[in-house]
Structure 1
Amino acid sequence: MQASLATLLATIPEISLCSSVDLYGGTGPGLPLLQIQGESGSATLALQGAHLLSFVPKGGRELLWLSPKAVFAAGKAIRGGIPLCMPWFGRRPEEGLPAHGFARSSNWDVSEVEMLSNGDIKVVLELHDSAATQALWPHGFVFRLALTVGRELSLDLSVENLSGAAAPFSHAFHTYFAVPDVKEVAISGLDGCTYINSSLEGKPRQLQVGDLQVQALTDRVYLNVPAEQIIKHGAGQIKVSSDTHCAIVWNPWEGAAKMADMGQDNYSGFVCLERGDAFDHAVSVVAGGVYRACMSLSE
């Protein structure tokens, strides 16, 4: 363990460092993980990608889904939890760029840990530009994610553009929510919103009427959404709140069979409800400017 990280963690006994091999098996060194055991909730966080893998509010159930086939390897995105898709969202194969950006497969540094007065635990991680990132996205930057674990989980993201030119930017908190059966899910908070239906040829724009029920392959980008959505399922509900403008709802259905790190029998255990700013709501971060976004999850 690097000395600075060891010093930080020594101040908060409720945070410990382990390997993904310890928790999820596999071979090799695995990836370094932080385990957070607070008074009101617990979480597991991979330093690669500042990637939250688990969140359990005290007395509650696991809110996040992690694929049983997830791969924990350097430079490879982890299937499940909350990947940070940025500084762009989506696939850009024509440009030879990695899908959903590089943040989710980069190693972040822990810059701060704190026990708050109410017993919640705060962890701040940072990612700075390097020669490797400049080759993909030619901007100086600092990405910061402040994660607070209590009965509610909150994520506060800031993107500081340190370069002399505006930086095109889009992102999503690509959250995989654990549900007993995706076919029994109903999502409220999207009624009346226009969405891009990416599962249909031509990606037509359609209007959501009532709650969304996921009964087949679903890949929709909802625009100008309200701050809060609620995922209702057989074991209860999950509240999602964010100041971002998009909500992406995704489940690959039988297409999961083509994903080696998911498998055909596992799609029914999750639904992705991602909040972010992408597509019509992509932004340009001015030179020297800062973009901020937040999201919170609770039962």
Structure 2
Amino acid sequence: MQANLATLLATIPEMSFCSSVDLYGGDEPGLPLLQIQSELGSATIALQGAHLLSFIPAGGRELLWLSPKAVFAAGKAIRGGIPLCMPWFGRHPDGLPAHGFARTSNWDVCEVEILSDAAIKVVLELSDSAASLALWPHAFVFRLEVTVGRELSLQLVVENCSDTAAVFSQAFHSYLAVPDVNETLIHGLDGCTYVDSLLEGHPRHLQAGDLQMQALTDRVYLDVPAEQVIKHSAGQIKVSSDTHCTIVWNPWEDAAKMADVGQGNHTGFVCVERGDVLDHAVSIAAGGVYRATMSLSE
């Protein structure tokens, strides 16, 4: 835990620090977690990756899925919640770690605040290091503002502090908790072009109507509406963002091959991720800033 975190938390009793071992078990020492418990909702954030692990609106249900086999170890991505995939998304052409380094780096808590509506805001920050520069040769500041109220709001700010343009893509890799993925509908993608990442050549197709997944699915939808609604037997989850893409993924039978998911556990989630990838990857000018937001609500 960073030296000034205890001082920051002392100002807000609704926030506390613990180890992942305390909440989820596993081997010591685990990873440091920040817990938020307010009258409007609760959340848990891993400082590694600025990674949301849980969000429960007051009187509501858990909106995020965390794998029962998730591993909490330094430098290893956590399966579930909302990993931050950046500064690239997916496989890297040069064989660098998939989905970038932000999700496995240790972020600092630099601001905490109770807002006028009783929501709680936390700002986490990551800056370049020798390790990051070896992977992505740009000085930077990544800043994630998390607001926990009746909805969960995320605002990402990326500053390119280097003197050259930086090619950048990102996704809020949201694992959304559902009673049964087989009976879940995703509304808000009708008429959108999607890239099928599972087929050779990554062909493009048009979505017709709501999406109901019945098998292994890995698609990138382009130029999507601001909101998608995930409808399931226990209610719904609204995902809103100002980004341009929606990635939809579930490993289906391949979950059995994934040590941190496991056979049958794929039924409890669907990944509906918002971000700017593929056609919508950006070039951040030297000294420039990229911003993206996403919110989750029932």
**TM-score, normalised with respect to structure 2:** 0.99
Counterparts in 2 of 1:187-226, with a 5 A limit?
187-226=186-225
Letter of the 2:13 partner, please give it. Answer: P
Aligned position for 2:275:
276
Gap regions ≥5 residues in structure 1: none
Q: d(CA) in 2 for partners of 1:188 and 1:27?
A: 40
Quote the Cα distance in structure 1 between the aligned partners of 2:192 and 2:158: 27
Q: Within 5 Å, which residues of 2 pair with 1:14-29?
A: 14-29=14-29
Question: Structure 2 CA distance, aligned partners of 1:34 and 1:88?
Answer: 26
CA deviation profile, 1:152-180 (whole Å, cap 9, x unmatched): 00000000000000000000000000000
| 2:12 match: secondary structure | coil
Q: Give the match for residue 11 of structure 1.
A: 11
Counterpart residue number, 2:174 = 175
Q: Structure 1 vs Structure 2: percent identity of aligned residues?
A: 80
Aligned partner of 1:78 in structure 2 is 78
Residue by residue over 1:37-67, the C-alpha shift from the partner in whole angstroms, topping out at 9 and shown as x without a partner, is 0110000000000000000000000000000
d(CA) in 2 for partners of 1:279, 1:264? 30
Partner of 1:46: 46
Instruction: Supply the RMSD in Å over aligned alpha carbons.
Output: 0.7
Distance (whole Å) between structure 2 residues aligned to residue 19 and residue 292 of structure 1: 31
1:238 equivalent in structure 2: 237
Question: Offset of 1:251 from its aligned partner?
Answer: 0.2
State the AA in 1 paired with 2:168: F
**Who is 1:122 aligned against?**
121
How far apart, CA to CA, are the structure 1 residues paired with 2:3 and 2:74?
21
Q: Are the counterparts in 1 of residues 2 and 108 from structure 2 also a CA contact under 8 Å?
A: no
Q: In 1, distance between residues paired with 2:138 and 2:3? A: 29
- Runs (4+) of structure 1 moved beyond 2 Å? none
What displacement does 1:264 show? 1.1
Tell me the distance in 1 between the aligned counterparts of 2:242 and 2:133: 28
Report the alpha carbon displacement of residue 96 of structure 1 after superposing the two structures with TM.
Answer: 2.8
Distance 1:193 1:2, change over 3 A: closer
Q: Does 1:64 align with 2:64?
A: yes
Aligned-partner Cα distance in 2 for 1:205–1:136 = 31
Map of 1:144 onto structure 2:
143
Distance in 2 (CA, whole Å) between partners of 1:38 and 1:97 is 39
One-letter amino acid of the structure 1 residue matched with residue 189 of structure 2: L
Counterpart in 2 of 1:294? Answer: 293
Unaligned runs of 5+ in 2: none
3-state DSSP of counterpart to 2:247: strand
Indicate the SS of the match to 1:95: coil
